[in-house]
């Protein structure tokens, strides 16, 4: 049996799903050493194209989180506040030994002036 007919037979037997690579593996297991390029050329002559299944993506869109800022009661008017009445804080992360360390700083704003 001719190689082209073997390829066509394998392709039709499996409902046109098998690609050149799988047909090559089947033929090599049967003792016919054939390259994938040669199988591809023969399939192109016979107009045999394997079915390409599209992967279904069932992804939900991420909700956009709105950043809600609290009201600005200070308005950079530091003179209205006394000691230990107005504190400012910040949280940041630092890369340390290939891991993140979190740093939280709290400062009495009046003493910082």
Mean pLDDT taken over the chain: 82
Q: What is the pLDDT of residue 38?
A: 92
pLDDT at 111: 54
Report the first-to-last Cα separation within the chain, whole angstroms.
Answer: 93
Interhelix angle 3-13/20-29, nearest 10 degrees: 110
Stronger pLDDT, 88 or 100, i.e. the higher one? 100
User: How do residues 34-79 score in pLDDT, each as one tens digit?
Assistant: 999 999 999 999 888 888 777 777 777 777 778 787 787 777 776 7
pLDDT > 70 fraction of the chain, expressed in percent and rounded: 94
pTM surpassing 0.75? no
Two tokens, residue 90:
């910040």
Closest CA to 18 of 46, 53, 45: 53
Q: Which of 101, 99, 70, 75 is nearest to 86 (CA)?
A: 75
Contact 26, 10 (CB under 8 A): yes
């Amino acid at each position: 049996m001719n190689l082209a007919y073997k390829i066509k037979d394998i392709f039709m037997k499996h409902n046109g799903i098998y690609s050149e690579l799988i047909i090559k593996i089947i033929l090599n297991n049967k003792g016919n050493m054939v390259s994938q390029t040669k199988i591809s050329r023969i399939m192109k002559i016979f107009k045999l194209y394997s079915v390409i299944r599209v992967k279904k993506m069932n992804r939900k869109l991420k909700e956009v989180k709105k950043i809600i800022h609290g009201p600005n009661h200070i308005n950079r008017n530091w003179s209205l506040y006394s000691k230990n009445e107005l504190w400012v804080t910040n949280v940041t992360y630092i890369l340390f030994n290939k891991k993140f360390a979190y740093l939280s700083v709290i400062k009495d704003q009046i003493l910082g002036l």
